[in-house]
A and B are shown apart, each in its own frame.
Chain A
Amino acid sequence: MNESRFLVRQVEPAQPLRFDPGKCIGCNRCVNACPIDLLLPAQGKNQPPVPAYPDECWYCGCCVMECPADAIQLRHPLMNQARWVEKNKLKEGHKWNCSNG
């Protein structure tokens, strides 16, 4: 088969979790605390867990709350990122207001 720079992959609708491998101490507290049980422990030592079933994420933040090393970031799916505006830009008659949060 020809070498190709392309790869075949599963396309995910969202990526809820980002682990910082520099911070993670591999304690697996997040794995044990997730109410959905969607994380699997890493095979190697001191490595971040594997979000094996990211689509099942309930976006509760419990993994982040339990992490002793501040090594997890939770990100809502794009469609769920709520919008806000500066109050003093809401003026009578104003039409285009693009200051998205």
Chain B
Amino acid sequence: MVSSSAWPYPDETREMEQIQADVIVLGGGIAGCMAAIAAAKQGCRVAVVEKAGAVRSGAGGSGCDHWEQCASNPCSSVSPEEMLQAMMDDNDGYNNPISHYIEAREGWDRLLDIEKMGGKIRDTEGEFQGAVFRDEKTGLLFAYDYKNRTTLRIWGTTFKPAMVAEMRRLGVRLIEHVTATALLTEGGRPGGRCIGAAGISGRSGKFYVFSGRSVILATSRPARIWLFSAAYPGLAEFRPLSCIGSGHAMGWRAGAEFTLMEKSVRGEFSAAGRSFPPYAAGNNHNTWYPASLVDNRGVEIPYADRDGNLLPDVMHRFQPAAGQKFFMKGGNIEQAKYAYDGPETLPYQKLQEQGYQLPFYADLSNLPPQERKVIWGMMIGQEGKTRIPVLKDLTDRGFDPEKHVLQCYGVGWKSGDFLPQERQLFGLVGGFMNDWHLMSNIPGLFVAGDALFSSNCYGHAATTGSYAGRHAAAYARSVPEILPERSQVEKERLRVLAPLARDLENGYTWKELNHAVSKAMQNFCGEVKEDGLLLAGLEVLQGYENEIVPRTAAANPHELVRLLEVYDILTVSQIILHSCLARRNDCPKLEFYRSDSLGEAPEPLIAIRQEEGQIHTRQIPLDFAGDVKENYEKYNTDYRQEVSP
């Protein structure tokens, strides 16, 4: 049934607007806003293209309650080098040494920037005065490891509006409700210098051409590859429905190089029926660390240190184990190695043996009052998607953290249980390959935030955004302006507008295509990979591309944006299949397994790109970044002078 109510916006599909700036930022999320601010402070004219409204867009728009790996804050006893070393070591080297060093080194500078913009980073009212997690001198609040103090508790709901106000103050041009669809390159050649982007309004259908001397891609990471629900598409994944890795698809078409795209994990955080809303169900992690867990009889489940020693009281949950310098996260959420492993409740198998009964519940009632208040109230209230959907919702329905316990689904921190083939790009996943400028292999194309390989987290997005902004500004000053090729622009305009002119009654919708792609990925690229399956998967997806995409249709610009997203999901799925084909050996750290593994040592990083449909791969050593401190200082001489008076 095609229902018809009037579209409230004007039809501008025949129009084209051209916007010129020195630096073009694609995506106005955390990384994009911080990139724009940094580039504008360097004196550049900056334009930000954001597909929604920037004030609350992206994964971090609704909030964020903790800022991790902030080794540079004045209370930290861990150096940025130690922090990076731990992050690399914890992942057997399969991590981004450049971006995470930037995160560890510049986090505190960015928090100070955000505070100046109007974001709240410390307990200015003294609400938590005297609490063990509060530094009395600075008013900063810490989480997890109270001794080493590298993770800050913050009031993240205040950050995004402050960033948007700062962009306006600096004269950054914000183009909102416009989706970037393609990168424009010198001479229209794939692999050529990036000189702009094309985009389309999700309201009027107006086509945009953005040209700049450099481009920063900050459109986050892919999603809806394996997980999809036509009934609840908005709940299919952890990150927003609107963020599906369109930057990756644009980059791939333009010849950009990616790495670790073969890595996926079994679904952990999603809500497409299998899971409950993040942070709204019982658990003892992230926001909820270190809530007590009780079993169905109300008996408390013990916490233990990494050696299995039971912890005598709540306060020990914030302390490193004997002989341990620091731990990175409370609770073994990402299976930390022994060296960095924090306190955790006993493993389920042990609990079962000892007669603990399901279901388990998260219990804040027995925590010291300030610990309870900082979790229920401050953090649940500042975390992404918690202020209204958790704090307000549960409170309105009568939940009282002093009296009630909240049910866990599953046996630990997860908010649902998934099948092996229900996979997700969660945690440190693949993405754009980068150099020390955070530039991709395409000259002039910089990348920041969750679009980078092995990226994750708010502080990482803010720091890499700002860093990419500085470097893209310097690059912009060093190159001439080149205008986009008309033929490339025209080809893109025809591509993106075509579905609006197609037969709606007989056409495929974005949902039907998304479902088909996700089902194919579950079938052909599940938990265990095998060459024949992966190749069959490619054949299916290429069939969709050639035969189905030309028959997809959209009724209005909003639906068109959803459909263009699915085209990109189709492209990203193929990047993933090609990346899986390129890795020949099992690699447990990447949760990558083959039934036809060569049985040799796992390959290091494998970088992959396409050129005229041909796939090119190369191996990159895990330590490709060299001595991080030395190289950071070499590539950031101006920045160092700026911050050290």
Chain A interface (Cβ < 8 Å from any Cβ of B): 10, 13-14, 32-38, 40-41, 43, 52-53, 55-62, 64-66, 74-77, 79-88, 90-94, 101
Contact B240 A82 (CB under 8 A): no
Q: Is the CB of A84 within 8 A of B234?
A: no
Residues of A within 8 A of B406 (CB): 82-84
Quick check: A59 and B234 within 8 Å, CB to CB? yes
Docked-complex contact A82 and B394, CB < 8 angstroms: yes
Q: B403 and A87: CB pair below 8 A?
A: yes
Q: Are B394 and A37 in contact (CB under 8 A)?
A: no
Interface string of B379-400 (1 = CB under 8 A from A): 0000011011100111001110
What are 18 residue pairs bridging A and B, where the CB atoms are less than 8 Å apart in the complex? A33-B53, A35-B52, A35-B62, A36-B240, A36-B242, A37-B51, A37-B242, A55-B232, A55-B233, A59-B277, A60-B61, A81-B397, A82-B407, A84-B405, A84-B407, A87-B361, A87-B403, A101-B398
Interface stretch (choices B86-94, B125-133, B294-302, B455-463): B294-302
- Cβ-closest chain B residue relative to A77: B232
Given known contacts A36-B240, A80-B235, A83-B407, A62 and B361 CB-to-CB distance under 8 angstroms: no
Q: How far is the CB of B168 from chain A (nearest CB, A)?
A: 14
Whether B276 sits at the interface, judged by CB under 8 Å, is yes
Cα–Cα distance between A38 and B399 once the two chains are bound (Å): 30
Closest residue of B by beta carbon distance from A92: B297
* Contact string against A for B residues 121-158, beta-carbon threshold 8 Å, 1 for contact and 0 otherwise: 00000000000000000000000000000000000010
Q: What chain B residues lie within 8 Å of A90 (beta carbons)?
A: 294, 296-298, 361, 405
Whether a CB of chain A sits under 8 angstroms from the CB of B202 is: yes
Contact B56 A33 (CB under 8 A): yes
Residue numbers in A under 8 Å from B157 (CB-CB): 65
A-B contact count (CB 8 A): 163
Closest approach, in angstroms, between the C-beta of B355 and any C-beta of chain A? 11
CA distance A36 to B59 in the complex (A): 11
Q: A35-B242, A91-B298 are in contact. Are A66 and B1 (CB under 8 A)?
A: no
For the residues of A in contact with B, the DSSP-based class is loop
Q: Is the CB of A59 within 8 A of B3?
A: no
A96–chain B nearest beta-carbon distance, Å: 12
A62→B404 contact, CB < 8 A: no
Mask of B28-66 contacts with A, CB within 8 angstroms, 1/0: 000000000000000000000001110111100110000
Question: How distant is the Cα of A83 from the Cα of B398 in the complex, in angstroms?
Answer: 11
Complex contact A91–B240 (CB within 8 A): no
Our pick among B3, B57, B393, B407 for the contact of A76 (Cβ within 8 Å) is B393
A65-B62, A80-B276, A82-B406 known; A74 and B389 CB under 8 Å? yes
Name the interface residues of B65-90: CB closer than 8 Å to any CB of A.
none
B231 within 8 A of A: yes
- Rounded to whole angstroms, the CA-CA distance of A40 and B202 in the bound complex is 11
Chain A residues positioned under 8 Å from B393 (CB to CB) = 74-76
* A75→B58 CA distance, assembly (Å): 21
Q: Is the CB of A35 within 8 A of B56?
A: yes
B residues 204-246 touching A (CB-CB < 8 Å) = 230-235, 240-242
A37 to B561, CA, bound (A): 10
Cβ distance A52 to chain B, nearest Cβ, rounded Å: 7
Set of chain B residues within 8 Å of A66, measured between Cβ atoms: 55-56
Task: Let me know if A58 and B241 touch, CB within 8 A.
Answer: yes
Query: What's the Cα separation between A64 and B552 when bound, in Å?
Result: 34
For residue A32, which residues in chain B have a CB less than 8 angstroms away from its CB?
53, 55, 176-177
